[in-house]
Amino acid sequence: MLNIYFYFFFAFFNFLLAVNADVTQNVFLRLYNRNGSHIDENIRNASIFLPYIQKNNFLIIFINGLNNDINSLSDKLISSAYLDTTEVNVFGLDYRNVTTQFYPFAVADISTVGKFVANALDDMVENGINPKKIHIIGHSLGAELAGSIGRQMKVKISRITGLDPAGPLYYLLNNHLSISDADFVDVIHTDMGFAGLALKIGTVNFFPNYGRRPQPGCSIELTSSCSHSRSYEYYAESIRNHEAFIGKCYSLNKCSGAEYVSMGYATPSNATGNYFLITNSKSPYGQGFAGATFNPFLVTPIA
Which residues are designated catalytic? 140, 164, 228
Q: Give the Cα separation of 226 and 231 in Å (integer).
A: 9
Would you say 251 and 296 are in contact if contact means Cβ atoms under 8 Å apart?
no
β-strand 159-163 against 260-262: which pairing, if any?
unpaired
